């Protein structure tokens, strides 16, 4: 597919995979984006996932026929983008791999390739004829070897995972409205890149002055029309610029903690507060994570299970911790049968993450009733 005279899309949509990275649901698919820059010399920017070998090679041939690929630029070594490097080298034996020093051992480790690798440094350029590629390191967005390839003549940033999102791309790869992809970009960011907010901020400071007019990420649409919105949204997510609103995330074994969650949500709605309710037993926790990256308050509910936190809720809390999430207003609630522990343990985890406790937590024994559980005790403190 033609992005411009010089830039061609040779990636593909994956509508078969149920769980990206074997953990994140992709009900609307995901794309593995790869690009050719076609000039006197031809550069391929990243490859694709292993399952798409034939489609990938066919897409390349469709764009360049019998011409050869001169350079394979490796921006990122995660196997959703790097799995076909050896295939490319086999098909185009003279192609030079262009990458930075940190990627070199990974290329050997994953693909067994050690020869004809050109190691470039920050800011270095590579001429393809009329067009140039320049390389800027953006370590930990989201692996240490990650870099952006910038084509100044096309004002195009090949940004790797940065500005990526879940969802298959439409024909032509361009979209009119960022709004259609916003939710899946947020969930992608929270799930995959969320731990690295500070390095994303550093990367934004580095690439913003380039005067970008086109972003070609490794997942999701090519961005042209909505660049200020896309860059602004990434800035917001990575700088944790939070909206006033409440994420309620809970797990429930027999429905009692669920009823308490619904009571809190109802109270919040009655008071006009934005509330997002997530049942961690019914949906993947990435959906709740996405809202934690948007809203300033988190309320977590769990029954006591084996004198601890119910495992689906424990996993969610550990996911927050792993991403370095902090500075949220927090309260816990939950049910128990003979010894209530979950609220105490949730509060301890929240304290580790430097959350601000807005309430000591509400728990109740056995079955839910509004007499035992007064949701407004928490809600009144949030207003």
Find the binding residues for ligand FEO in span 200-229 (CB under 6 A): 218-219
10: tokens are: 């040779």
Minimum distance of ligand FEO from residue 309's CB (angstroms): 30
14: tokens are: 């994956």
114: left (phi over 0), alpha (psi -120 to 50) or beta: alpha
81 touches ligand FEO (CB under 6 A): yes
161 touches ligand FEO (CB under 6 A): yes
80 touches ligand FEO (CB under 6 A): yes
Q: Give whichever of 309 and 319 is closer to ligand FEO, judged by the CB atom.
A: 319
167 touches ligand FEO (CB under 6 A): no
Polymer length in residues for the chain: 383
Minimum distance of ligand FEO from residue 222's CB (angstroms): 15
Interaxial angle between packed helices 342-352 and 311-322, expressed in degrees from 0 to 180 and rounded to the nearest 10: 10
Find the binding residues for ligand FEO in span 84-103 (CB under 6 A): none
Minimum distance of ligand FEO from residue 218's CB (angstroms): 5
Residue 221 to residue 166: CA distance in whole angstroms = 10
359 touches ligand FEO (CB under 6 A): no
DSSP-derived pairing of the beta strands 304-305 and 156-160 = unpaired
Give me the 126-145 binding string for ligand FEO, x by CB under 6 A, dash otherwise.
----------------x---
Residue 231 to residue 212: CA distance in whole angstroms = 10
Member of 6, 8, 41, 76 binding ligand FEO (CB under 6 A): 76
Alpha helices, DSSP H only, in 92-245? 104-111, 179-188, 197-207, 227-238
With CB atoms as reference, the residue minimizing the distance to ligand FEO is 78
- Find out whether 15 and 29 touch, Cβ atoms under 8 Å: yes
Q: By CB under 6 A, name the binding residues for ligand FEO.
A: 76, 78, 80-81, 142, 161, 218-219
């Amino acid at each position: 597919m033609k992005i411009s005279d010089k830039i061609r899309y040779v990636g593909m949509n994956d509508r078969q995979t149920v769980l990206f990275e074997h953990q994140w649901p992709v009900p609307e698919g995901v794309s593995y984006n790869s690009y050719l820059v076609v000039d006197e010399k031809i550069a391929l920017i990243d490859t694709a996932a292993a399952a798409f070998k034939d489609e990938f090679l066919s897409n390349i041939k469709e764009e360049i026929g019998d011409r050869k690929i001169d350079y394979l630029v490796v921006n990122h070594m995660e196997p959703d983008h790097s799995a076909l490097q050896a295939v490319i080298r086999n098909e185009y034996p003279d192609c030079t791999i262009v990458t930075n020093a940190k990627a070199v051992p990974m290329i050997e480790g994953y693909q067994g390739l050690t020869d004809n690798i050109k190691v470039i440094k920050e800011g270095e350029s590579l001429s393809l004829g009329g067009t140039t590629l320049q390389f800027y390191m953006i370590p930990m967005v989201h692996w240490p070897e990650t870099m952006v390839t910038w084509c100044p003549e096309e004002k195009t940033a090949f940004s790797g995972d940065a500005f990526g999102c879940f969802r298959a791309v439409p024909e032509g790869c361009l979209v009119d409205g960022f709004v259609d992809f916003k939710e899946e970009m947020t969930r992608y960011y929270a799930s995959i890149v969320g731990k690295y907010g500070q390095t994303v901020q550093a990367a934004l400071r580095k690439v913003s002055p380039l005067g970008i007019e086109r972003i070609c990420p490794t997942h999701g649409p090519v961005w042209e029309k909505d660049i200020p919105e896309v860059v602004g949204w990434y800035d917001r997510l990575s700088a944790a610029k939070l909206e006033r609103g409440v994420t309620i995330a809970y797990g429930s074994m027999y429905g009692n903690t669920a009823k308490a969650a619904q009571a809190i949500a109802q109270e919040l709605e009655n008071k006009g507060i934005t509330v997002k309710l997530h049942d961690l037993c019914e949906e993947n926790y990435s959906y709740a994570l996405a809202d934690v990256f948007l809203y300033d308050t988190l309320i977590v509910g769990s029954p006591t299970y084996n004198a601890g936190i119910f495992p689906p809720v424990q996993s969610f809390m550990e996911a927050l911790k792993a991403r370095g999430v902090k500075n949220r207003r927090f309260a816990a609630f939950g049910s128990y049968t003979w010894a209530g522990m979950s609220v105490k343990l949730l509060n301890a985890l929240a304290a580790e993450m430097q959350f601000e406790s807005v309430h000591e937590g509400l728990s109740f024994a056995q079955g839910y009733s509004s007499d035992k559980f007064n949701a407004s005790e928490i809600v009144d403190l949030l207003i």
